[in-house]
A and B are shown apart, each in its own frame.
Chain A
Amino acid sequence: MTKDNTSPANGSILVVGGGISGLTTTLEAAEAGYEVFLVENKPYLGGRVSQLNQYFPKLCPPTCGLEINFKRIKDNRKIKVFTMAEVEKVEGSPGNYNATIKLNPRLINENCTACGECVDVCPVERKNDFNFDMDNTKAVYKASEMAFPMRYTIDSSVCKGSECGKCADVCKYNAVELNMESKTLNIQVGAVVWSTGWKPYDAEQIDNLGFGKHKNIITNMMMERLSAPNGPTKGEIIRPSDKKAPESVVFVQCAGSRDENHLTYCSYICCMASLKQATYVRAQYPEAKIYIFYIDLRTPGQKYEKFYKNLKEDENVFFIKGKVAEVTEEPDGSITVVAEDTIAGEKVRQTADMVILATGMQPAAKPHADLKVNEDGFIINDFEKGGMFAAGCANKPADVVSSNQNATGMALKAIQTLVKR
Chain B
Amino acid sequence: MSKKYGVYICTGCGIGEAIDIEKLSDVPDEEGIKCTTNPFLCSKEGVEILKKDVADGTNMIAIAACSRRVNFDVFRFDGCLVERVNLREQVVWSHSREKYPAPTEEQKDDDDFVDHIQLMAEDYLKMGLARLEKVEIPEAHQMESVSKKILVIGGGITGLSSAIDAAKAGYDVTIIEKEAVLGGYAGKIRKQIPVVAPYENLVNPVVEAKIKEAEALSNITIKTDTIVARIAGEPGDFTVTLKKPGEKFEFDVPFPLPDEMKVDEDGKELDVEQLNEVYKEFNKGKEDILTFDPNGEKFGAVVLAAGWRPDTIEGDDYSHLGIGELPDVITNSQFEEIAAKGKIIKPSDGKEAKSVVFVQSPGKGEDDSDFKYCGSVTSLVSLKQAKYIRDDYEDGKAYVIYQHMRTPGLQENFYKSIQQDDGIFLTKGEVASVSKNGNGLIVEADNTLLGEKLKIKADLVVLAAGMVPVTVDDPVINLAYRQGPGFRDNDIYDGYADSNFICFPYETQRTGIYAAGCIRRSMTIEESVEDASGAALKAIQCIDSVTRGVAVHPRSGDMTFPDFFFQRCTQCKRCTEECPFGALDDDEKGTPKPNPARCRRCGTCMGACPERIINFADYSIDSIGSQVKAVGVPSEDDYDEPPLRILALVCENDALPALDIAGMNKLQYSADVRIIPVRCLGSVNVIWIKDALAQGMDGAFLLGCKHGDDYQCHFVKGSELASIRMKKIGDALSSLALEEERVTQFEIAIDEYDKLPEMINSFVEEVEALGPNPFKGF
**A28 contact from B493, B532, B541, B751, Cβ within 8 A:** B541
Contact A113 B12 (CB under 8 A): yes
Interface residues of A in 49-71 (CB under 8 A from B): 53, 55, 58-69, 71
**B502 contact from A60, A116, A173, Cβ within 8 A:** A60
Question: Which of A200-208, A209-217, A292-300 forms contacts with chain B?
Answer: A292-300
Contact B754 A234 (CB under 8 A): yes
CB distance from A42 to the nearest CB of B (A): 19
A347 contacts chain B at the CB level, 8 A cutoff: no
CB distance from A317 to the nearest CB of B (A): 14
B374 contacts chain A at the CB level, 8 A cutoff: yes
Interface residues of B in 1-25 (CB under 8 A from A): 12-14
Contact B532 A409 (CB under 8 A): yes
- With A74-B73, A113-B66, A145-B664: A396-B406 Cβ-Cβ less than 8 Å: no
Nearest residue (CB) in A for B665 is A145
Interface residues of A in 10-48 (CB under 8 A from B): 20, 27-29, 31-33
CB distance from B496 to the nearest CB of A (A): 7
A interface residues, Cβ below 8 angstroms from B = 20, 27-29, 31-33, 53, 55, 58-69, 71-72, 74-76, 111, 113-116, 145-146, 150, 172-173, 228-230, 234, 258, 264-268, 296-303, 305, 309, 321, 342-343, 374-375, 378, 380, 396-398, 400-402, 404-413, 415-416, 419-420
CB distance from A163 to the nearest CB of B (A): 27
Nearest residue (CB) in A for B495 is A302
**A302 contact from B373, B408, B714, Cβ within 8 A:** B373
Contact B533 A300 (CB under 8 A): no
B147 contacts chain A at the CB level, 8 A cutoff: no
**A415 contact from B39, B376, B537, B553, Cβ within 8 A:** B537
Contact B72 A74 (CB under 8 A): yes
Contact A396 B540 (CB under 8 A): no
- With A32-B537, A301-B522, A406-B530: A398-B409 Cβ-Cβ less than 8 Å: yes
Nearest residue (CB) in A for B548 is A33
Contact with A along B663-674 (1 / 0, CB 8 A): 011000000000
CA of A409 to CA of B527 in the docked complex: distance in angstroms?
A: 11
CB distance from A257 to the nearest CB of B (A): 8
CB distance from B390 to the nearest CB of A (A): 22
Contact A413 B533 (CB under 8 A): yes
**B413 contact from A31, A265, A267, A407, Cβ within 8 A:** A265
B503 contacts chain A at the CB level, 8 A cutoff: yes
Contact A305 B369 (CB under 8 A): yes
Contact with A along B247-285 (1 / 0, CB 8 A): 000000000000000000000000000000000000000
Question: Which of B51-59, B162-170, B227-235 forms contacts with chain A?
Answer: B162-170
Q: For residue A67, which residues in chain B have a CB less than 8 angstroms away from its CB? A: 653-654, 657, 750
CA of A383 to CA of B66 in the docked complex: distance in angstroms?
A: 46
B531 contacts chain A at the CB level, 8 A cutoff: yes
CB distance from A182 to the nearest CB of B (A): 23
Contact A408 B505 (CB under 8 A): yes
CB distance from A357 to the nearest CB of B (A): 18
- With A32-B540, A415-B169: A59-B710 Cβ-Cβ less than 8 Å: yes
Interface of B is mostly: loop
Q: For residue B373, which residues in chain A have a CB less than 8 angstroms away from its CB? A: 302
Q: For residue B712, which residues in chain A have a CB less than 8 angstroms away from its CB? A: 58, 60, 64
Contact A266 B409 (CB under 8 A): yes
Contact B537 A76 (CB under 8 A): no
Contact A397 B556 (CB under 8 A): no
CB distance from A320 to the nearest CB of B (A): 13
Nearest residue (CB) in A for B527 is A402
CA of A111 to CA of B506 in the docked complex: distance in angstroms?
A: 38
Contact with A along B143-179 (1 / 0, CB 8 A): 0000000000000000000000110111000000000
**B710 contact from A32, A60, A411, Cβ within 8 A:** A60
CA of A265 to CA of B412 in the docked complex: distance in angstroms?
A: 6
B115 contacts chain A at the CB level, 8 A cutoff: no
Q: Which 5 A-B pairs have the closest CB atoms?
A: A409-B533, A65-B503, A408-B534, A412-B537, A266-B412
- With A343-B449, A405-B534: A416-B411 Cβ-Cβ less than 8 Å: no
Q: For residue B42, which residues in chain A have a CB less than 8 angstroms away from its CB? A: 111, 113
Nearest residue (CB) in A for B166 is A412
CA of A20 to CA of B502 in the docked complex: distance in angstroms?
A: 11
CA of A20 to CA of B196 in the docked complex: distance in angstroms?
A: 25
Nearest residue (CB) in A for B469 is A302
Q: For residue A396, which residues in chain B have a CB less than 8 angstroms away from its CB? A: 409-410
